[in-house]
């Protein structure tokens, strides 16, 4: 049995590269020989589309359906009913119905553990489970934080916001105190970087000042390149779309950093 790590990719801001990171980090880990499951936890279903599912809204068994069964106390069907297998990695897809789940969670006793109930038994089958979230600190994101071992926070220089990061960190701390004591911040990931620009240097300096020695910033930075969007659009990972592109190399490096990170030192949020 593999020692499974569940990672949530989260940021309160929209468009920071969460889905792109979930998709491509997942693919890089799978290329490295790990069994990887992607969990699409955003009603926008961009991760499902990046996986090659063209019309998620036509799916009949999605994250919403399986979580509804859990909330009803019903027995789950065989995993083959709700996990889709790709060439290298698997996914539990989502569609717009996940926004109904969010409403239903409001009235559910202990509802914050619903995703955890789904994923915990799947640890036996995977080396990594990566959860993509929506850009709000609502009940869906709380569920994803409750279900994971660590969090990767993508931040793009164009959208850098200390307030957004502070809000997310406070939520993570609250989740750690009340729901999931094992959660820690894996690191902040700079995405869509154009290192030649003044904007990049200014944003990096602000982020360094914010994180100091309290929060890890990944050494890997994801460069800005149109190839990432083209790969998303084609429903394949950047590794499959353009293996030699800078973004593919960067996501492989990120995977090595994630594998090498043993969960010690500054990245935890106990303080």
Ligand X SMILES: Nc1ncnc2c1ncn2[C@@H]1O[C@H](COP(=O)(O)OP(=O)(O)OP(=O)(O)O)[C@@H](O)[C@H]1O
Number of C-beta neighbours around residue 229 at 10 A: 12
245 interacts with ligand X by CB under 6 A: no
Q: Which does 50 bind (CB under 5 to 8 A by kind): Mg ion, ligand X, none?
A: none
Tell me the backbone φ, ψ of residue 86, rounded to 5 degrees: -100, -170
Cα 15 to Cα 38: distance, rounded to the nearest angstrom: 19
* Assigned token pair, 5: 């790590």
Q: Which does 37 bind (CB under 5 to 8 A by kind): Mg ion, ligand X, none?
A: none
Tell which one of 4, 12, 17, 116 touches ligand X (CB under 6 A).
17
Taking 3-state DSSP, the helix, strand and coil percentages for the chain, each rounded to the nearest 5, stand at: 50, 15, 35
Q: Return the residues of window 25-54 that contact Mg ion according to CB under 5 A.
A: 46
Cα 113 to Cα 109: distance, rounded to the nearest angstrom: 9
Tell which one of 7, 29, 38, 222 touches ligand X (CB under 6 A).
222
CA atoms within 13 A on the CB side of 67: 30
156 interacts with Mg ion by CB under 5 A: no
Tell which one of 135, 161, 171, 211 touches ligand X (CB under 6 A).
135
CB of 156 to ligand X, least distance (A): 8
18 interacts with Mg ion by CB under 5 A: yes
Selection from 110, 106, 123, 97 nearest residue 41 by Cα: 97
Compute CA distances 96 → 41, 55, 107, 234, whole Å. Answer: 10, 11, 20, 21
268 interacts with Mg ion by CB under 5 A: no
CB of 161 to ligand X, least distance (A): 13
3-state secondary structure of 191: strand
CB of 225 to ligand X, least distance (A): 5
What residues have CB less than 8 Å from 11, skipping those under 6 apart? Answer: 18, 135, 153, 154, 155, 164, 165, 168
20 interacts with ligand X by CB under 6 A: yes
141 interacts with Mg ion by CB under 5 A: no
Q: Which CB, 119 or 247, lies closer to ligand X?
A: 247
Q: Which does 17 bind (CB under 5 to 8 A by kind): Mg ion, ligand X, none?
A: ligand X
19 interacts with Mg ion by CB under 5 A: yes
Binding positions for Mg ion, rule: CB under 5 A: 18-19, 46
Binding residues (CB under 6 A) for ligand X: these are 14-20, 42, 44, 46, 134-135, 191-192, 222, 224-225, 228-229, 232, 247
């Amino acid at each position: 049995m593999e020692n499974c790590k569940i990672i949530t990719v989260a940021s309160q801001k929209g468009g920071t590269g969460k889905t792109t990171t979930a998709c491509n980090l997942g693919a890089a880990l799978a290329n490295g020989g790990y069994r990887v499951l992607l969990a699409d936890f955003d009603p926008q279903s961009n991760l499902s589309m990046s996986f090659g599912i063209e019309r998620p809204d036509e799916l009949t068994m999605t994250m919403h359906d399986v979580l509804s069964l859990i909330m009803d106390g019903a027995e789950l069907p065989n995993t083959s009913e709700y996990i889709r297998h790709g060439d290298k990695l698997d996914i539990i897809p989502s569609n717009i119905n996940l926004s109904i789940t969010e409403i239903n969670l409001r009235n559910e006793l202990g509802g914050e553990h619903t995703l955890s109930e789904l994923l915990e038994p799947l640890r036996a089958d995977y080396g990594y489970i990566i959860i993509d979230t929506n850009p709000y600190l609502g009940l869906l994101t709380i569920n994803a934080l409750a279900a994971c071992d660590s969090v990767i926070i993508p931040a793009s220089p164009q959208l850098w916001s200390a307030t957004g990061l502070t809000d997310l960190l406070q939520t993570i701390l609250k989740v750690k105190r009340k729901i999931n004591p094992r959660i820690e911040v894996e690191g902040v990931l700079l995405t869509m970087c154009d290192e030649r620009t003044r904007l990049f240097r200014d944003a990096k300096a602000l982020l360094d000042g914010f994180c100091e020695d309290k929060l890890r910033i990944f050494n890997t930075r994801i460069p800005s390149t149109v190839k990432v969007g083209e790969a998303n659009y084609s429903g394949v990972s950047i590794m499959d779309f353009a293996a030699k592109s800078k973004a593919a190399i960067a996501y492989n490096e990120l995977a090595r950093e994630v594998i090498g990170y043993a969960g010690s030192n500054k990245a935890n949020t106990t303080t």
